[in-house]
Structure 1
């Protein structure tokens, strides 16, 4: 649905050139939710604005549904943008207009007849759960409600693509979760392809099929979100994953442990299998679970457990080998003392 080929964006400033996007290529399949994560200044917002030519790339190609947007005339580009909705962190609602008027404006700009606007606005407000707010003004709405209005406005002209630039960054955790569930509903029920910019791995974990990590204007790692969480390759990616999966054991606890300490990773169905129980029955070892956690990466479980194994050296080695054969990842944190 979206294909970005070797896109760069260079800004001219008084102090010289600044590279916002550096030779980025990616492909977003139709119907996917694609997350782009990175810290502030990584180039995420510049990249997503290049996707609908709000920022014109310095070089490269941007294809949406097979059409290279950079080759279109201004008129054709305006028409193409009607199939690309966009929502922002700051909502950008007209304060002097009601919820109805804010959404209807997008329909009016697209040339939709007045007789059809009311019906479409009512459909959209039902979708986003704000039918009772149709005559309210933005000042009367909460942050989450404002974002729902901006989502409804972005969907007004039945876009094929929805671009979300830090759409949940200004919201509290509970409201963020509700907005993410709404975006998932829109993706599943309407089949709209979504590209989501964020600096929060929690957002990626919740709804993204695929994830790309940006740093200094470049994509340094990308792939299925589950694989990124389970086996991050780049140091920056590991830092992001640590905000979700990491837990440090107290130094005093480690000092008190005399056995071999292992970190075990359980992926998919293995998270519910009795691997550890089977191992304890099979070998002459005892085990203490020191810490454990199961996260769901878009509804697929990923478990991390830290345990101490105690027993004769050969039995511990055999137990460890058994775990390595059954699990994707077994890491020794501390050897027996």
Structure 2
């Protein structure tokens, strides 16, 4: 378990103070994949680097498995960091060393014997799918392969926690998917707690169990990924979610409407039921679906449909009541003039 207790990080620059992290408290459960999302400058990377004291908090405590890292001396902290792996956006591989040597570096730094290093590196190469690249150099690898080396290196000393600082930001969408799949596999098979920093809600949707939204050094919203997708409270959270679900109705559709335009939210089982079809058969209204999308978040469906209903006003109102009773959200966007 990771406990972040009232952590603040203040930088002093040119006789002025800049607050990077502002009184943040979080509990991250052992074995979960926890995301922290925010735009550039939100403080998320600073918070991540506080977790292994690459940035020492100005105040507050970092507790990992009951140990307060801020209270450790240099040697104790070095030992504690062996159990905290870190993956970076830009890989940071040594260009003059092979894949094997880049991964072995972390083990050599921990004073592991040669035979153990050989065995462990081969195990890690198998885990990340790079057994055939053992003797290759970084210049011979793709971006995704370089990040797999970075992941293997971070896993070298069998950590309990894996910190990922924008680990997929330098990768194309297809490669990002493969890296996220690998991280999820590592989490499930090895039981490693993963803390993942990103500015992409798609990454959060694909891999995280819970997520915190950061702005101006503070946590402004926190919950399971499904909770935030279905019921976001803050405008920043809504903007992140809209980037995936695209809730906004184009102006030209609003201008052309001849009926009542509604947005319908389906959660869980309701997203898989024929509610709209049943409504159209039950009431004397016609329906035109203008936009529709179902996303699976943590394997639970979330559907959004935008429809235009035409017919007599009373019949439309009855149809809307029917939908409202059977779904998780109904918003009338506009009535025809």
TM-score, normalised relative to structure 2: 0.98
In 2, Cα distance between equivalents of 1:3 and 1:238: 27
* Paired residues, number: 337
Please identify, of 45-54 and 239-248, the stretch whose mean Cα deviation from structure 2 is larger.
239-248
Please identify, of 146-155 and 326-335, the stretch whose mean Cα deviation from structure 2 is larger.
326-335
Match of 2:207 in 1: 207
CA displacement at 1:76 relative to structure 2: 1.0
In 1, Cα distance between equivalents of 2:298 and 2:98: 36
TM-score, normalised relative to structure 1: 0.98
**SS in structure 1 of the partner of residue 122 of structure 2:** helix
Deviations 1:258-317 (A, max 9, x none): 111110111122211111112122222221111101112233221110001122222211
Match of 1:138 in 2: 138
**Aligned: 1:231 with 2:231:** yes
CA displacement at 1:242 relative to structure 2: 1.1
In 1, Cα distance between equivalents of 2:140 and 2:250: 47
**Where do residues 1-337 of structure 1 align in structure 2 (5 Å cutoff)?**
1-337=1-337
Please identify, of 305-314 and 147-156, the stretch whose mean Cα deviation from structure 2 is larger.
305-314
Please identify, of 197-206 and 294-303, the stretch whose mean Cα deviation from structure 2 is larger.
294-303
**SS in structure 2 of the partner of residue 30 of structure 1:** coil
In 2, Cα distance between equivalents of 1:59 and 1:249: 46
In 2, Cα distance between equivalents of 1:269 and 1:281: 21
CA displacement at 1:176 relative to structure 2: 0.6
**SS in structure 2 of the partner of residue 35 of structure 1:** strand
Deviations 1:115-170 (A, max 9, x none): 11111101101110000000011111111100000000000111111000000001
CA displacement at 1:34 relative to structure 2: 0.5
Deviations 1:72-112 (A, max 9, x none): 12111111111110000011111111111111111111121
**SS in structure 1 of the partner of residue 220 of structure 2:** strand
In 2, Cα distance between equivalents of 1:310 and 1:136: 65
In 1, Cα distance between equivalents of 2:335 and 2:5: 48
In 2, Cα distance between equivalents of 1:25 and 1:122: 39
Runs of at least 5 residues in structure 1 that lack an aligned partner in the other structure: none
In 1, Cα distance between equivalents of 2:266 and 2:75: 53
In 1, Cα distance between equivalents of 2:70 and 2:250: 55
**SS in structure 1 of the partner of residue 214 of structure 2:** strand
Please identify, of 207-216 and 274-283, the stretch whose mean Cα deviation from structure 2 is larger.
274-283
